[in-house]
């Protein structure tokens, strides 16, 4: 709550050693933060501070997050896929584009105004 009052950003810089650790951390964060899971994943990926705690991943972790955006998959609907790392891949941090994972609906309109504007600017919507 203190971060909200002071408008501060909490730079979350965990010691990530593998793609699986990054996937698990981002999954737990997205599910544990207030709001919708897809929106939380999008904020973490774009580097927009989350509305509840002002959490931001460092730019390197943002780039390594294995997510795929489906913007306007159907009229007015956006989705995000949180790709799981493949089991046969090496354990170094990196992107595996062949992996699959759950798809979450994005509700950009339901994010608070500062985050909504940042998302729109960064995605050029």
Structure-derived torsion over alpha carbons of residues 120, 117, 40, 34, reported in degrees to the nearest 10: -150
For residues 73 and 60, what is the distance between their CA atoms, to the nearest angstrom?
Answer: 28
For position 2, what pLDDT does the model report? 47
pTM of structure: 0.81
What is the arithmetic mean of pLDDT over 100-108? 92
Q: Is pLDDT above 80 for 94?
A: no
- Residues present in the chain in total: 125
For position 124, what pLDDT does the model report? 87
- Banded model confidence at residue 1, pLDDT cuts 50, 70, 90: very low
Structural tokens at position 109:
């309109």
Identify whether the C-beta of residue 88 lies closer than 8 Å to the C-beta of residue 114: no
Q: Is pLDDT above 60 for 5?
A: no
| Average pLDDT over the chain, rounded to an integer | 84
């Amino acid at each position: 709550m203190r971060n909200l009052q002071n408008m501060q950003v909490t730079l979350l810089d965990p010691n990530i050693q593998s793609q699986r650790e990054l996937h698990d951390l981002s999954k737990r964060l997205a599910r544990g933060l207030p709001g919708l899971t897809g929106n939380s994943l999008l904020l973490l990926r774009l580097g927009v501070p989350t509305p509840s705690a002002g959490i931001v991943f460092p730019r390197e972790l943002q780039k390594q997050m294995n997510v795929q955006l489906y913007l306007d998959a159907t009229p007015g609907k956006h989705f995000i896929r949180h790709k799981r790392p493949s089991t046969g891949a090496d354990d170094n941090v990196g992107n595996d584009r062949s992996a699959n994972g759950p798809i979450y609906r994005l509700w950009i309109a339901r994010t608070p105004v500062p985050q909504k504007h940042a998302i729109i600017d960064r995605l050029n919507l």
